[in-house]
Amino acid sequence: MAFTATLEVKNEVAFVTLTGELDASVAPQFRTQIEAAAAQHVKRLVLHMGDLSYMASAGLRSLVFAKQKMGSGVDIFMVAVQESVAETIAMTGFDNSVIMVPSYDEANPPSA
């Protein structure tokens, strides 16, 4: 499945939807979206990951990049993470640096 990363910013919240397989060949596409979101000085980053079927180590490095680029004052939510991707994130301990939630309601967002 081809990888895509799309960005939408609403009310100081950046929403990035990831689909396909995140590996070294496509990680720059994800980092580009993160840089665009950071440039808009958002208060929250929401990663919709329900259609992300695989994440390689380059994907994990991209998540670390996102955390660093967004800064400590920006909460990162990972939404609907598939089990195989969640296991990869948990094995590295990065799940302690983000907030993993099954869903994200813009009208009633979860608290950090």
Quick one: which of 78, 66, 64 has its CA closest to 37?
Answer: 66
Q: Where are the domains of the chain?
A: 4-101
Q: Residue 8 and residue 14: Cα distance in Å, rounded?
A: 6
pTM of the model: 0.94
Q: pLDDT grade, residue 42 (50/70/90)?
A: very high
Tokens of 102: 């099954």
Q: Output 106 or 65, whichever has higher pLDDT.
A: 65
Model pLDDT, residue 23: 95
Tokens of 1: 């499945």
pLDDT at residue 46 greater than cutoff 90: yes
- At 6, which amino acid appears? T
Question: How many residues are given for the chain?
Answer: 112
pLDDT of residue 80: 97
- For 61-105, the pLDDT digits (tens) are 999 999 999 998 999 999 999 999 999 999 999 999 999 999 998
What's the pLDDT at 111? 78
Q: What kind of architecture, by CATH, is found in domain 4-101?
A: 2-Layer Sandwich (3.30)
